[in-house]
Every structure is written in C-alpha cells, then in structure tokens.
Chain A
Amino acid sequence: MANFDQELDASGLNCPLPILRAKKSLAGMEAGQVLHIIATDPGSVKDFEAFAKQTGNELMESKEEGGKFVFLIKKN
C-alpha cells in the first residue's frame, strides 16, 4: 500500500462527480502530495486517466480492488 496524504471516497457516485470531487480535494493540497481515491463508477478508470493527462497531475496508480476502483494521484 503506497503512502498518501489525503483520501477521497467517491463510492456510489457517478460521472462526473468522482472527477469533480477529486479536483476539489486536489485544490486544497500542496504540490507533491498524493490523493487516494476510491470509486465504484467503472467509467472513472478512463476518466481519471484523461483527467491526469489534461491537468498535469500524475496518475501513480490505478487498480481494481474488491470490486472498487482505487487511484493514486500526485498533485503537480
């Protein structure tokens, strides 16, 4: 389990809420800090990839864990 600075549980939320909540969480964090996100929306896998690519934040990890989708995003 990688280390992270903040956690966001977006379970049960559907598009585009996981992305919007993540953006909000990242806004309150400092560069280099890592956000741990848990989601259940299968669309969020592609969406967090696209989000990271377009915002310049690094998607360090994206995996499925016990039916949930888990992401680690490092703020740029």
Chain B
Amino acid sequence: MSNKKLAIIATKGTLDWGYPPFILASTAAALGYDVEIFFTFYGLQLLKRKMKVAVSPLGNPGMPMPMGMDKWFPVIGTAIPGMQSIMTMMMKNKMKSKGVASLDELRDLCLEAEVKMIACQMTVDLFDMNPADFIDGVTFGGAATFFEFAGEADITLYI
C-alpha cells in the first residue's frame, strides 16, 4: 500500500502563520504521510536560511496582548514604531516558555522527515529574491509542479 499524501500551499510569511504548515507537515510525516509544501508569495520567507519573520498586532484584533493591552490600548497604538518587534520578542519568549518549538526547529524536523519543499519560481522572480538565500533541498517550480503531487494527494491545504 502506498503512503497517504498531504499537499500544502503556504502563502503567509509571519511568525504565527508559519506554524501551521510546519506543524502539520512534520506531524503528517511522523504518521507516515508523504508531504509536499508549495511556498508562494510571502510564504517564501519561511524558506530563507535566516528566517526573519515577525508577528504584528496591527490589524489583528484577535491577537491577545499582554497586560490587557488589547483592552485599553487604542487601535492606533498597535502601529507605534517598534511595537511589532516588541510583540515578536514577547511571542517568541512565550512560545519558548510553553515548550512550543521554534519555526527553525520545526522546519529542520520537516527536512529530516523528507518533507519536500517547493519554492514558487514566479514569486522568486517577481520579488528579485536570491535563490542562494534559501535553505538547501528546496526545489524551484510552478503551479504544474504543485499539481503533479497535489493531484494525487489525500489532503490538500491552503494556508
């Protein structure tokens, strides 16, 4: 019997939205799935050797903020310069204290489990990204490359 297949499209390049693709891919691989992730647009940030991803409270009313800041802080406060890096630092510390893996760690676990990672060639060209900035083992391809695998996938997720 051939393995089940999971295909994921990762479109977001923030600290919080980087988690679902890597958590689901690594777990599926542990359960015996063949997994492929197609990274496009901002999702390509997740393939950079040095992942520079942040989380922003701006335009995100669902994000819990420390000390009830989300209750009394005016919305415009979330746009204060430096707020994004403060929130990113706080989020990273919180994750560490709760035993949540870092994105780098989860990505390494995916690579170790032979999760296949495809970088969208069109986006790489569009944003003049340097292929040398990406981690080893990444394949560059387009929509047809994605469908080659997704066409036979049992589960396909767009994140």
Binding site for B on A (CB under 8 A): 12-17, 19-20, 23, 40-41, 51, 54-55
Contact = CB atoms under 8 A, between A and B. Distances in A.
Q: Which of B23, B99, B109 has most chain A Cβ within 10 Å?
A: B99
B121 interface: no
A20 B30 contact: yes
B131 interface: no
Contacts of A51: 30-31
A20 B27 contact: yes
B99 A41 contact: yes
B101 interface: yes
Interface of B: 23, 26-27, 30-32, 98-101, 109
A2 B23 CA distance: 32
B30 A17 contact: no
Given A20-B109, A41-B99, A15 B23 contact: yes
A23 B99 contact: no
Interface SS, B side: loop
13 contacts: A12-B99, A14-B99, A14-B100, A15-B100, A16-B23, A16-B26, A16-B27, A16-B101, A17-B101, A19-B27, A20-B26, A20-B109, A55-B31
B99 A54 contact: no
Question: Closest 6 CB pairs between A and B?
Answer: A23-B30, A14-B99, A16-B27, A12-B99, A13-B99, A14-B100
Nearest to B105: A17
A17 B96 CA distance: 13
B107 to A, nearest CB: 12
Nearest to A26: B30
B30 A19 contact: yes
A16 B30 contact: yes
Contacts of B27: 16, 19-20
B33 to A, nearest CB: 9
Contacts of A17: 99, 101
A51 B30 CA distance: 9
A19 B109 CA distance: 12
A76 to B, nearest CB: 12
A20 B99 CA distance: 14
